[in-house]
Amino acid sequence: MAKVFGMHMIVLNPGVSEEEFEKFATEAVPRMPLWEGWKAYLLKGDRGDREGKYLWLIEIDSVEARDWIMPSHNVASEEAREREEALSEEEKQQQQEMAERLATFTPSIVGENTVYTDYVVIAETG
């Protein structure tokens, strides 16, 4: 069972400052509901080609765990759609706020409106 890392480049919408976004993100991201076997990180480039740019990194325990939720590109499973419908009002509002701040990321359907690649681990150290 190979681990999967989903890397989603995100861009702030015009008029949204980095400070505003990062304040929101540090409060909202830790409360986001995720699937069993999934962990997410919001990253900001510190050095290199994407310095100052944002990346949503999703760590998934296995290809099977990913495919249970997203069986193919931009296609959510029945379980994912049901969970989306059952979100609390607070969770829905949080997703709406995230969508208003980002031009290339929709947290409810991972992969929609974003530039991303899923990487499957083929080798690792230690």
Q: Where are the domains of the chain?
A: 4-120
Cα dist. 65→5, 28, 61, 85, 109 in Å? Answer: 12, 24, 6, 20, 15
Q: How confident is the model at residue 111 (pLDDT cuts 50, 70, 90)?
A: very low
Q: What is the CATH number of domain 4-120?
A: 3.30.70.100
End-to-end distance of the chain based on CA atoms, in angstroms?
A: 17
Mean pLDDT of the chain: 85
pLDDT of residue 10: 85
Rg (CA), the chain: 15
Give the type of residue at 32: M
Q: Which two tokens stand for residue 30?
A: 């830790």
Contact 11, 126 (CB under 8 A): no
pLDDT tens for each residue of 22-67: 988 888 888 887 889 999 999 999 999 999 999 999 999 999 999 9
pLDDT of residue 7: 94
